[in-house]
Chains A and B, each alone.
Chain A
Amino acid sequence: MPIPTPVIELRGVTKTYKLGGETLNALDNVSLVIQPGDYVTLTGPSGSGKSTLANIIGGLDQPTSGTVIVDGNDLSQLRDAQLSEYRNHHIGFVFQSFNLQGNNTIVENVMLPLVFSKVGRKARKARAIECLQAVGLGDHLKHTANQLSGGQRQRVAIARALAVRPSIIIADEPTGNLDSAKGKEIMALINDLNTQGITILIITHDQEVARKAKHMIEIRDGKLSEHGA
């Protein structure tokens, strides 16, 4: 059996913040590998460094030291333009607070990443509609984000993350602002995406969610303790 190439490999990643005279290691010498098609949950107490780690993996933030290697490329060596392209082509972010443009239609929201990857107007609209149908919002296309419920908004956010056909979706507490029923629906949607082959990295406080994952990473004070299936 061929060993799958690691999509993402972190080696000794440290993220340090200087606050006044004190230094704070939000991440402390973190090394990990995420395989293609993996389903990884990231748990830990508040302030332990979960979001920091996810952002570094997603190319939104850069480590103070250590390397993040994706398909043989070191992210920390990339310039802003290349890093932005990496996010645009490979990463789909889903946030706790949806982060949609409330007054724009949901189609326009989903099209946004495609605008940056220079997809033509017709093609990106078609793709946006396709993604919205995939998350079950095919009959709400004319709505603006503000006109939807919380659960529906998070579906729009997932559709936006899907638009560029990312290899990994990074979801930072996607159910944090939803009630448990709506949260379950969103988790089901994300599980579905994983079965279609998309790598998932999800930050959650929900132990039930965490246990279902192929890999469970626990983080405390910036240090890892991994439990894998």
Chain B
Amino acid sequence: MHFSDYVILAFRNIWRAKLRSALTIFAVVIGATSVTIMLALVTGAKSFFLDQVQANGTLQQVAISPQQDITNFNDAQHNSGGNCSTNCTKLTDLVVDKVKAIPHVTGVARVAGQGMLAAIAYGNQNLSLNQTTAYDANGIIVNNVLAGRDIQTSDTTGVLTITSDYADKFGFKGNYGGIIGKSVKLLTQDFYSGVGANIQPPQQCNGPCNGNNQPNNKPTTLTGTIVGVIDTSNNSQSVRIPIEWMREMQENQMYQVTPADQAANAAQQAKCQRIAGPCNITQHMTLTTTDMLAQNGYSSLIAKVDNSKNAASVATAVKKLGLGAADAEASIKQQLTIFNVIGLVLGGIGGIALAVAAVGVVNTMVMAILERTREIGVMRAVGAKRSTVRTLFTIEAALLGFWGGVVGIAVGFGLTRIANIFVNKQLVSQGVKAHDIISLPPWLILAVVGIATLIGMLAGLYPAARAAKLNPVEALRYE
């Protein structure tokens, strides 16, 4: 019997029991559709993620933290520095120079993050600030700029970029360009003692005074000009400023009694002791400024490597300096594992649906064989071999699976198109260029149809074997 005859016969038999076949195929469709959507989602999201990583140049970066025990790329970036005591090396400019000297390192961006600023105000909107990040605008750290521009090398103080969620709240949703060049107020924390803080000398006191107390307990208001609006996807509710401005903000200004003041004060006191009666002593103090950023070091560094292949070896070299370092590869691998796990779990759900569908196919085929027992007897009488009968029923079952797969792909395709519309909208609203994340590559289409067909075929094996084993004489007598 020719293969095409098998397919034609099988097709006609499926057509003959339209309703039953349709219901069986429907079960396969549910399984195939869910597998399709799930695989499409995972592969799409994975490639989107990889594209993003590629575009950011993340693979060519090594994140460096003062904390030695940090091995994760993201943790290394987000470590805020803070107190550096054990297993910790301050990221001072001296250390930065050492990192720059490591072979394959083409540049280093210093990053300083601090919760120095408490709020940002524009018009009558006053919004709290999560994080102020400052970094060298030397092209190593790239942001997705939606309007205006990123911080650049020539910027020193008084300019900032804001994330798009702020721009939205300031009333520039859909018109990010409109906020560029606008001036905003930045309200500092109470303890702020950097540039612009109104530092008062301590209260005059009678008798000896060290004068170390910090009388200024009011927030300072700074002003800055917005030069850019950037995508929120990495970090929402944050502003980015040039590192030199951050240095000024972190300055510690205070009145101190310098050795010269001490001498002057001692002289005054000696004079008073000589005079009987009230004696007014004016405490001498001087406003001093300390560069705390230089003293405490940066919160993290991003080293750029000439080739992503060298990222791991550079990370190792950085660790030898007593620092924590991590390249992106490990954490990307980790995140890809997550995608794979999600894929497995979701695919598993679809797999269960397909398994149920397979049981449906078995059931349908067993029913069909009971119904067509006499027909099988006739086929055997006019010359069908056992193998002919077996092949015919196996192909029939495979065809049920095949149609289920085809319809499943079609439905899955339709649903992913619809889902993409929503996902794209979401992305655009977050300022990411819309590209259909949920993709249906040809291999997936082939795989789903192939798997559905194979499942149908496997489900048909047992019923087909039963049909082939039928005794033709008894089959012909079957009522």
Residues of chain A at the chain B interface (Cβ within 8 Å): 55, 58, 60-61, 80-81, 84-85, 87-89, 93, 95, 99, 101, 103, 112-113, 115-118, 160, 164
Contact = CB atoms under 8 A, between A and B. Distances in A.
27 contacts: A58-B381, A60-B380, A60-B381, A60-B476, A61-B472, A61-B473, A80-B385, A80-B386, A80-B387, A81-B385, A81-B386, A81-B387, A84-B385, A84-B386, A84-B388, A88-B382, A93-B382, A95-B476, A99-B374, A99-B476, A112-B378, A115-B1, A116-B1, A116-B379, A117-B383, A164-B382, A164-B383
A87 B375 CA distance: 16
A103 B378 CA distance: 15
Question: For B16, B378, B387, which residue has the most chain A Cβ atoms within 10 angstroms?
Answer: B378
Given A81-B387, A118-B2, A112 B382 contact: yes
A18 to B, nearest CB: 15
Contacts of B377: 99
Interface in B366-421: 374-375, 377-388
Contacts of A118: 1-2
Contacts of A101: 375, 378
Contacts of A164: 382-383
B381 A115 contact: no
A116 B381 CA distance: 11
Contacts of B381: 58, 60, 87, 93, 99
A174 B5 CA distance: 30
Nearest to B4: A121
Contacts of B1: 115-116, 118
Nearest to A86: B383
Interface of B, secondary structure class, is helix
Contact of A103 (B2, B16, B374, B384): B16
B2 A116 contact: no
Contacts of B380: 60, 84, 87
Interface of B: 1-2, 5, 9, 16, 374-375, 377-388, 472-473, 476
Contacts of A87: 380-383
Contacts of B5: 115
Task: Please give me the 9 A-B residue pairs with the lowest Cβ-Cβ distance, nearest first.
Answer: A88-B383, A113-B382, A116-B383, A84-B385, A93-B381, A99-B378, A81-B385, A80-B386, A61-B473
Nearest to A61: B473
Contact of A113 (B383, B385, B386, B473): B383
Question: For A60, A89, A99, A115, which residue has the most chain B Cβ atoms within 10 angstroms?
Answer: A115
Contacts of B386: 80-81, 84
A118 B5 CA distance: 9
A45 B473 CA distance: 20
Nearest to B12: A104
A85 B2 CA distance: 15
A164 to B, nearest CB: 7
A223 to B, nearest CB: 21
A116 B472 contact: no
B383 A89 contact: yes
A95 to B, nearest CB: 7
Nearest to A82: B385
Contacts of B472: 60-61
B476 A85 contact: no
A108 to B, nearest CB: 9
A83 to B, nearest CB: 9
A116 B9 CA distance: 12
B357 to A, nearest CB: 27
Nearest to A101: B375
A117 B379 CA distance: 12
B474 to A, nearest CB: 10
A84 B383 contact: yes
